[in-house]
Structure 1
Amino acid sequence: MVYLYNAYLHKLITCFLSHPLARDKVKESKEKAMSMLNTYRLVAPHDFGNGSLDSQQAMETDPFTFVSLLEFVSEIYQKEPELMSGNDVLWNFVNFAGEDHTNFQTFVAFLKMLSTLACSQEGAAMVYELLQGKAFRSIGWSTLFDCLTIYEEKFKQSFQTAGALLPEFQEGDARALDAYLNVLQKVLENGHPVERKNWFPDIEPLFKLLSYESVPPYLKGALRNAIATFVHISPDLKDAIWRYLEQYDLPVVIGTQVGKGAQPMAAKVYDMQYELNEIEARRERYPSTISFLNLLNALIAEEKDSSDRGRRFIGIFRFIYDHVFGPFPQRAYADPCEKWQLVVACLQHFHMMLSLYDIQDEDIDSVVDQSQFSAVSQTTSLQTQLPVLELLKDFMSGKTAFRNIMGILLLGVNSIINERTSKIHGQLLEKAVQLSLEIVLLVLEKDTLVSDYWRPLYQPLDVILSQDHNQIVALLEYVRYDFLPQIQRCSVKIMSILSYRLVGLVQLLLKSNAANSLVEDYAACLELRSEECQIVENSADDVGVLVMQLLIDNISRPAPNITHLLLKFDLDTPVERTILQPKFHYSCLKVILEILDKLMNPDINALLYEFGFQLLYELCLDPLTCGPTMDLLSNKKYQFFVKHLDSIGVAPLPKRNSNQQLRTSSLHQRAWLLKLLAVELHCGYTGNSNHREACQSILAHLFGWEIIKISSDRMVSDYFALQNSTEQAGTQTISKSKVLELLEIMQFRSPDASMKLPEIISNMKYDLVAEDILGDPKTSGKGGIYYYSERGDRMIDIAAFRDKLWKRFNSVYHQLSNFASDAELNDVRETIQQLLRWGWKYNKNLEEQAAQLHMLTGWSQIVEVSASKKISSLENQSEVLYQVLDACLTASASPDCSLRMAFILSQVALTCMAKLRDERFQCPGGLNSDSVSCLDIIIMKQFSNGACHSILFKLVMAILRNESSEALRRRQYALLLSYFQYCQHTLDPDIPITVLQFLLLDEQDSEDLDLQKIDRDQAELSCANFSILRKEAQSLLDLVGTLVFLLLGRNGFKVVNFDSRSLI
């Protein structure tokens, strides 16, 4: 809607400016403005506000038509810059409006319009060319730089004359220069990155007025803001800016040089401390100091050399710490926006010092040595101070920076929300809160490295915070601030750290009456995240994932813990006695169950689903929370297990080439779901009727059996009976075995996650030794190129990898990096980009490979639990076990099966084979039954010879796979032994058949029992087994001979009727 209104205004102003009568009116209004507005006037040396506010207000009280028209055009195209493209009418008006200005009011209004027109890349190029050429007689870039040079010469000449006063700065010139510099800033900010490098070859005139007292502070602010835009253009310009600042700008209060040079500063009339406290503080306006800090922050942020760990910036740090940030609460401010701009600049500097530089061993020792002299109040030498250590000492002793930052945060989340929406400085205050929380978080990450060595002078930050519980509550309540996810993210991370360090955190929150609101705030935060419509690229920045991780990490901590609180466990009674009622209590548990129930936006919420299942699984494993959680999930109202087995378990897997990240998360979701089902099957039958029915339902859905309801409500599962008769009354048809469907989902070739780089290395013109960087043990851990993801996967940090590659290039090819041609540098950039693309692909493939193994592990758990405990109570278990065994051997013999997958599949197959073997030789009536006859034992159930041969053939193929290991072979040989045990004859060959017939005479039915046929079938099975081995794997015959000898003894060869010479 806003764009539509701006488009209408664009059409109106275009029609107006293109009409002849309108052009005459515009010309008339311009001439009137030129004749009526005042010409240049002088101002007193210190009569400078931010932009000469008084004179500006005087002009605005009589808004002339021409000035208003310029402002109107600015507003339209500032909001919709694309409307400028190909707009000849607009640029014709610009050419007309820029001619023949006789006063600074219209001139400044014209330059302001140019600055808004330069808010896009195309507009920036147009404005630059307009001021670079001959379009105007008195307006151009040369006019700007000439004016700066002329004033610098006047000031310099006056300064060199004894007793002479500095000339006054004309207000019109100051206002015009301010507007010029704003145009310059916009042109550089939005210009083409390559073209803008050549636009302003000499920027030295921008620095020459910074040291003179007669220059208005707001003009100094505009100069520094314009200079700051050059910092990011090229490294050479950044170094030049450092040199010019040391040469021309005001010194900081402590006389340590800034920048990289060691040249002494020239003599100055006054320093930054004087300008801050004597000039700006009296006017209650601080544009010069704000711009000074922003410029220095921009320069420091671009510094790549961290060898001195910020020691060269200690003078800047002390000025900011002692003179700007320290007394900021006591200063008076005419504009509250400037107050928070000043605070934000200080906080950005502190944030950089903490994030750019780490703690080292020598820091610990040096602080310990200095603490020994604290009794005599000896201060540390300035040259030995480090900003990061000074900040840590401040926070760990509750000094100035800590108090001021907590003063900002103690305003409270409700107050910040109110001021953000009702005050003009609201967004600046929001930025200050964000930086304050990030600084607190950085200190919490570093203080434990030194706290054990610095005690008792300095304490960990959590100890300092615990001195006032309101401070902890204030930090944690910022999770309620939903206007900016970064603030919520910081609050959740702080909660995670404090929940680990403070044992009594939950009691503290309960005592402060903040617990209930925090429960609702976290639930609202998670719910809002689940409704997002945009994917969060970096999962470490996903506040929903952080909340889930917080809940998972705290499960095993002493009760009552944060997980118990946020999931609404009953904290007034033992946790294990809680009756969870998420439908009646708004909490994270209610939100998580709703997220998993609706499964909306799978592309966006995939990680929430994944960690939601993991959370429930971990809750079911914990001794305190397992009972209440499993009771809730097995409740008939939720039908949690079966529903998600249908909705997620056997759903199609996303394609790798379309959305690999979703594919990986989908595999992890199924893994946690299967592990959760395995826990329920393992423990459920010992619980109440809800658990038993849930387990029976899980088995029915997993193995595809028919649920037959008997009059006594007893449920019997029989999938194969369903195939023969589907007309039985009271039955409900269920799809085929989901266990096999789940295995089919995992049967794909694992993506390549090797560390080999042969193709990339062979094409590299410069030897960047990427393999050495990746294999260097020093590159692991903190500060290295590897990090551990939220799932525990060891990943390559792409940003750190890129920095290491460039650092290696610059160190090995130092001369080339300084003098290389653009073609050579582009060659290096392309090579590094190839390596970074490989690293990104490696991370994705590694995640998918780990997810595949994770799902297979969950699948194996549920199959082994079912095979070991549950299937034995159901009919047709042999057929089910045979199907799973056959599928496992088929999958493990596949060329797409990795070694680790084959190991897991072999373990499942071994379990199934052992279960089949035990079932075959199990006494039909039990060990103590007197009703079992010899006939029952002789004719015990066994698969057909063809089924057995199929199993052996697939097992041999699995053993002969290309990739194997000692552990895998041990399990495969155990499986082979178990198979031969299954095929073992039940009749002792030493007992004559006539004796057996006599023993069975009374037990036979009307049909004769042909013992010779049984013996003949068993011999055929044994011969076929060894024929398969002889044909497919001659090398295994020796092993099989040994197995048969150990299993059957010397007489076993007579039974199998096999030539012993074939075993040699």
Structure 2
Amino acid sequence: MGSLANCTLSKSFLKKTSVAESLKDSLLKSPLSDKMFGLPVQRVQEELSKNPPPVKVNVQVNNGKRSVNATSSSTSTSASGGPLLLLRKRRITTANLRTNPTTLVKTQNENCRIAFCENQQWSLIVCLFGLLTCSVPPGLKAQILMTLSAIAKTPDIAANLWQTLEVSQIIPTARSGSGKQPSGLQIELEEIETRNEEYPMILAFLSLINSLSDIPVPAGLVTGLRSPGFDPYLNFIRDDVFLKFDTRAYKDPAEKWKVASAALEIFVKLLKCHEIKAEDFTDEMVELQTGGTVAVNKSPGHTLIIHMLNHSGLLKKVLRILDDVAKVLETYSNAPGKKYMERASLCCLQLVEFTLDKAEEFFDACREMGVSIMVSQMDRLLRGINPRTGKSDHLINVAKYITFNQVMPYHAMSAMKILFSVSRAAGIQADLVNLYTADEKTKSELLHGFVECLEVDDPEISKDNIIILNEEKDEEVSLSGVRNSTRQYLLHTIIYSLEQPAPNLAHYLLGFELSKPVNKTNLQDPGILGSQKTCLHSLLTILDKGIGTLGGPQALIETPKLSELFYKLIYMLAANKDTSAAILRYLRTSWDFLYRHLQHVPFNGPFVTNHQSWLLRTVAIELRLTTLNRQRSHTQRLMKLLLDDHIDDPEQGILPGIDETVDTGFDKFSDTSYFQSSFHSHTTKQLQGRQIRRKILSLLDSVEFTQVYPEPLTLEYFDPGMIEQVIQKTESKTEDDTVYCNVKVLHSILLNEFSNVQSNVTVANRPRILEEVQGILKNVVSRNGVRKSLSVKQQSYDAWRQVAEIWLTSCPEDLMPREIRQTVLFELLQELLSKVAEEDALTELTAPVSGTFLTLMANLKQCFVVEQSQGNRENSSKYSSLLEDPGSKTPWVQSSGSRTLFATSLQLVLKGLIDHVMCSGGGQQRVRANLYGALLYYLQIAEKPKSQQKGESLEGIGERLLSGTDSEYDQLTKENVATILSYGNHFMDTVCRDACDGHDVGRMLALSVLDKILSMDKFQQWLNFMTSKGYLQHLVDSLINDDNQLQSLLGPNPHLKVLYIYESKMSLLTRIAESTAGAHALLRAGIMSRLSSCNYFDMRPETSRLQNELGLTQDEFIPSPMARYRLLLFACLKLCLAILTSCGIENQDAGNQGVRQKKIDGHGAYYEMCFYALLCGIILFTIEQIQLKLRTSRSNN
């Protein structure tokens, strides 16, 4: 027999047991008699304990058939069927253990395991542990321990096994006066197995502990007998088994690595499942039955972390194993026990990996609890000296496992995670580069290993349109998932290292110069000038598959996560000041990367939005740099691809399914004639081929401003408020500032809460409560998905915005005709306005669009200004030719300008801006400020140039003499006023409210918008509204409230925002005062009395010399106190002058009212001060002009 557990089976029991039919038949047809088959184990154990006679028994099991040969010097059997198998220190041979029926039952059928242990007559577990304390052969004890290990797979049985294991004292845990018990496994190991050079009992015991550690150690284990906890077993495995495994002799060399791997697997399991808790950093005392108190053992994971974060024997042994195995693997020889050797090295890597993962949280807990635990950073320990080589090469040994990624993918993944964690330590980047480039052989081999990690053909696993990246090392993890996880961690390492000071690990892996400044690097293809293939070359090769074909980039489908990381890496390289020039030059000249990939955007797919975002950000940088470097051909080429709306030759370069011409090679890039075609051809030739949508508009179509939110929680058993608080406590930010809830931690909290509150109600409704817990978790998962989606959409729009704004602000305007530029601007404005006007558009997504409106409107206004200056020159020449040739048949007619051509588009833009202003809430002050700025730019488009207003230009004279119709400026102004008035009082109220109590910047812009609208409103409807609703009175009264701030403005540390708001307000009041009705309204509001009450007029700075004022220039950023006083005073004087001018003679009394008010208040020197300041300003202006003329004459001489 292979185990005494076979004796617990009876035929009557087998007939009732649900096991495999083939197994049941073989057991029922066994040649053993019923009497012998049903022999209780406890009788065997009792006989062995009481009277162990010397019996030699050879038992063989061959293909399920048993043969028993026993010889004895005395009769040891009885008529009643006493113990037939009395075994003591004899050899048991098992020929085919896999056919052992009980082994199959106990390992494959949980029902049988439960039935064995629940039978009170058999007392299986107690009897088996009793046999372990008897004098039986080591092989039999090993089989008993393996049986217990299989039984421990059932959690309910495992708890009972813990208690029995403690009572049996096969590992001495309770000290007695006589010392250690002689039957302990420690004695068996040191005196029997070490002498036999075979270790079956230790291997079986490690298997038992491995099974038992699947569940936590019971809280009440050995309470009162010793210090509760797992420490005695952990100390035995660590100190007596693992640390001494390589100092013992072995008949089978493979068994050495079996022992090491079995012990390490237990350490890995304990450390992986360990959670940092505050209880582990405090001493909890318990009382013993024998008297006194002892501290409770810490959790085993806590103990392991402390040993791993010290120069302990455990860490030294782990690093030694990594060194030994790496040396063996480098020989590529088939060493004995290589399978177990590899398993041991993997466990060592995982121990270091898990320690690094938990170290930061461990250190934080130490600081919070104020404990004095002597530990060191793991990265410092890994940079320690290797006793074997005398060098600091532990991290080199770790990196060597990455080079074995093809045959040992799990090792490579764990080693890459270690490197990823270590690379985040402070100041380690330079050390890593020095280690990996110490000699040319190591540098080349390691780099080749990193490149191999990337060049795998395994696609990322997708299921139900959800990318599954298995980063946990479990049995269910496929090799494809492991390899993809490895290369993703490699890219994460490169991306993080790239932000560190040079030279760093990213520079080494990507092929940048390490011996000289990084910005001097000239990247080459592999083999050119001795260049080695780097990770950059591999990634470019992977991402280039499918470019120029119908399907597009294959990497977006096969490896979407890897592709996203690489696009991000390319952007970071382009944005880094040290690597930007080198990487963009290499991508442009050797791969034509950006242009060829940009041909395929917008990407199609559910998980490729971030890929497109990183690519567009890189394109924006390329546009900016090529413009600064005056590489006009490259800039124009990208602009043409983004903004062109037609195909010159529809028969060439078109792939089905792609809207734009796709460059399938480098011929066009090298052909200079390709750049000769420009946007200017649009105005001179007829459109050929098919009309297409501009790519920049197609990219905008892919940006979404809507989001579907999950339904709110409806709870019956949990308090919704408390659940929300718990969810907030489990939330944390990621590197991209996205807040996520830790679903695993939340699940643990909810289950603990449920288990702590046990009542009749909870027990009766347990299924429904658990169902509600699942509903909470699903809702939280949905929330995480929504937050991720919002972050992706925000990044998507931001990337598009960067490309659009760089084109508008940096690229040369002469690369694109003004008409085309205006058309594109109108199209972009209308598309954006229609998107933000959607009913379900989210504020979080539409808020950034306001800044784009401001930029677009600024450029649109500039287009009209340029057209205006060009039109003035053309009209001037026409008028001159008309005077010179009076008989010319060409009549003088006003040409239709762009304001007339785009009249409809202009009104659509105006309506969209007003709608957006009204939809934006009062709390979005930044959005309001941007929209008011855009609206102000728009209103300035209809503003006549100064030359026309004064009637000094030839165009103005021609209009008055030869044209009887309104100019395009007047027509646009009328249309604008009609559109604004169509919104009624709601829009008036919004603008006036923001002008009175909005944010400082928004308030100033709202005042400017009011100023511009009032200048266009000939029927004074806005003025009447402001007067009737009290907004004008509020503005007048606010002058007194601003008095204190204006006084502080004249001090040594002024806040200039007060000055700017004051100037905007006084400009608006002056605009109102320019009309008769407005001047009367201001007088009725008491404007003069308010001004007379202001005290800042009396705070004119005193100057000892007039030349102190001569240094003032109008372009000073911070004006001098006297200059600030002049700005305040002149604004007031202009307002007073406008009121007096508008009122005329008929309001002479009203004008004198202000003077009388001043005199009543005791400020008799008011007018004297005003005239003095005015005279001073005139004198200063005259002196400045004289100085300017003197400087000019000196320069000419």
Q: Which amino acid in structure 1 is aligned with residue 933 of structure 2?
A: A
When residues 169 and 860 of structure 1 are mapped into structure 2, their CA distance, relative to the original with a 3 A threshold, is same
Q: Which amino acid in structure 1 is aligned with residue 432 of structure 2?
A: L
Other-structure match for 1:592: 539
> Does residue 473 of the first structure (1) align with residue 396 of the second (2)?
yes
Question: 1:409-428 counterparts in 2 under 5 A?
Answer: 409-413=322-326, 415-416=328-329, 422=334, 425-428=337-340
Other-structure match for 1:522: 450
Indicate the SS of the match to 1:795: strand
Other-structure match for 2:499: 556
Q: Which amino acid in structure 1 is aligned with residue 860 of structure 2?
A: L
1:624 aligned residue (578, 581, 589): 578
Moved more, 492-501 or 550-559: 492-501
Instruction: Show structure 2 runs of 5+ residues with no match.
Output: 10-16, 55-73, 77-82, 285-292, 387-391, 473-484, 546-552, 649-667, 881-893, 997-1005, 1029-1197
Other-structure match for 1:902: 846
> Does residue 342 of the first structure (1) align with residue 259 of the second (2)?
yes
Q: 1-side partners of 2:777 and 2:112: how far apart?
A: 27
1:435 aligned residue (317, 337, 347): 347
Alignment check: 8 A CA contact 1:1022 1:1056 kept: no
Q: Deviation at 1:184?
A: 3.8
Q: Which amino acid in structure 2 is aligned with residue 343 of structure 1?
A: A
Moved more, 1014-1023 or 500-509: 1014-1023
Question: 1:461-860 counterparts in 2 under 5 A?
Answer: 461-466=378-383, 467-468=385-386, 469-482=392-405, 483-501=407-425, 502=428, 503-513=430-440, 514-528=442-456, 537-538=468-469, 540=471, 542-584=485-527, 585-598=532-545, 599-600=553-554, 602-635=556-589, 637-647=590-600, 649-652=601-604, 654=605, 663-664=606-607, 666-687=608-629, 689=631, 692-705=632-645, 715=676, 717-718=678-679, 721=682, 725-726=686-687, 735-747=692-704, 749-752=706-709, 757-759=712-714, 761-762=715-716, 766-767=717-718, 772=722, 775-776=725-726, 779-780=729-730, 786=731, 793-813=738-758, 820=763, 824-860=765-801
Indicate the SS of the match to 2:740: strand
When residues 945 and 504 of structure 1 are mapped into structure 2, their CA distance, relative to the original with a 3 A threshold, is same
Instruction: Show structure 1 runs of 5+ residues with no match.
Output: 1-39, 41-50, 53-103, 112-121, 258-263, 368-379, 655-662, 781-785
Q: Deviation at 1:1055?
A: 4.9
When residues 1046 and 905 of structure 1 are mapped into structure 2, their CA distance, relative to the original with a 3 A threshold, is closer
Other-structure match for 1:284: 197
Indicate the SS of the match to 2:591: coil
Q: Deviation at 1:574?
A: 1.5
Alignment check: 8 A CA contact 1:238 1:299 kept: yes
Other-structure match for 1:13: none
Residue deviations 1:130-174 (CA, integer Å, cap 9, x gap): 589x6657489x97774422311212333899xx99995189995
Q: 2-side partners of 1:206 and 1:323: how far apart?
A: 26
1:953 aligned residue (911, 917, 940): 911
When residues 892 and 816 of structure 1 are mapped into structure 2, their CA distance, relative to the original with a 3 A threshold, is same
Indicate the SS of the match to 1:547: helix
2:314 aligned residue (397, 401, 413): 401
Aligned length: 885
> Does residue 333 of the first structure (1) align with residue 250 of the second (2)?
yes
Indicate the SS of the match to 2:562: helix
Q: Deviation at 1:631?
A: 0.7
Q: 2-side partners of 1:1039 and 1:953: how far apart?
A: 20
Question: 1:921-932 counterparts in 2 under 5 A?
Answer: 921-922=865-866
Q: 2-side partners of 1:805 and 1:865: how far apart?
A: 50
Other-structure match for 1:221: 142
Residue deviations 1:476-504 (CA, integer Å, cap 9, x gap): 11111223333112211222233343232
Q: Which amino acid in structure 1 is aligned with residue 1015 of structure 2?
A: G
Residue deviations 1:285-328 (CA, integer Å, cap 9, x gap): 22221221222232223117799999601111111122101110
Residue deviations 1:394-438 (CA, integer Å, cap 9, x gap): 44443321222122111244623767x835633322221111011
When residues 345 and 998 of structure 1 are mapped into structure 2, their CA distance, relative to the original with a 3 A threshold, is closer
Indicate the SS of the match to 1:334: coil
Q: 1-side partners of 2:152 and 2:796: how far apart?
A: 50
2:50 aligned residue (122, 140, 157): 157
Q: Deviation at 1:832?
A: 3.1
Residue deviations 1:586-606 (CA, integer Å, cap 9, x gap): 111011111111133534410
Q: Which amino acid in structure 2 is aligned with residue 344 of structure 1?
A: S
Indicate the SS of the match to 1:490: helix
Q: 2-side partners of 1:266 and 1:205: how far apart?
A: 29
When residues 154 and 624 of structure 1 are mapped into structure 2, their CA distance, relative to the original with a 3 A threshold, is same
Other-structure match for 1:118: none
Residue deviations 1:833-885 (CA, integer Å, cap 9, x gap): 33333333333333222212111111111111112222633212111111111
Q: 2-side partners of 1:1025 and 1:586: how far apart?
A: 64
Q: Deviation at 1:736?
A: 2.3
Moved more, 961-970 or 292-301: 961-970
Q: 1-side partners of 2:514 and 2:338: how far apart?
A: 39
Q: 2-side partners of 1:227 and 1:265: how far apart?
A: 29
Q: Which amino acid in structure 2 is aligned with residue 558 of structure 1?
A: P
Q: 1-side partners of 2:219 and 2:839: how far apart?
A: 50
When residues 891 and 227 of structure 1 are mapped into structure 2, their CA distance, relative to the original with a 3 A threshold, is same
Q: Deviation at 1:723?
A: 10
Q: Deviation at 1:892?
A: 0.8
Alignment check: 8 A CA contact 2:433 2:503 kept: yes
Q: Which amino acid in structure 2 is aligned with residue 151 of structure 1?
A: V
Q: TM-score, normalised by structure 1?
A: 0.73
Moved more, 323-332 or 487-496: 487-496
Q: TM-score, normalised by structure 2?
A: 0.65
Q: Deviation at 1:212?
A: 3.0
Q: 2-side partners of 1:545 and 1:989: how far apart?
A: 65
When residues 1055 and 283 of structure 1 are mapped into structure 2, their CA distance, relative to the original with a 3 A threshold, is same
Alignment check: 8 A CA contact 1:255 1:315 kept: no
CA RMSD of aligned residues (A): 4.7
Indicate the SS of the match to 2:128: coil
Q: Deviation at 1:524?
A: 0.6
Q: Which amino acid in structure 2 is aligned with residue 916 of structure 1?
A: L
Residue deviations 1:180-234 (CA, integer Å, cap 9, x gap): 995444435444x789756753384144233334333333333333333343434
Q: 2-side partners of 1:475 and 1:850: how far apart?
A: 36
Question: 1:51-70 counterparts in 2 under 5 A?
Answer: none
Q: 1-side partners of 2:213 and 2:684: how far apart?
A: 75
When residues 1035 and 412 of structure 1 are mapped into structure 2, their CA distance, relative to the original with a 3 A threshold, is same
Q: Deviation at 1:565?
A: 0.4
Q: Which amino acid in structure 2 is aligned with residue 126 of structure 1?
A: E
The alignment-based identity, stated in percent, is 19
When residues 156 and 779 of structure 1 are mapped into structure 2, their CA distance, relative to the original with a 3 A threshold, is farther
Other-structure match for 1:244: 164
Indicate the SS of the match to 2:51: helix
Alignment check: 8 A CA contact 2:283 2:296 kept: no
Other-structure match for 2:61: none
2:974 aligned residue (1009, 1012, 1020): 1020
Q: 2-side partners of 1:179 and 1:143: how far apart?
A: 20
Residue deviations 1:779-823 (CA, integer Å, cap 9, x gap): 44xxxxx46567554333333332222111101227788xx47xx
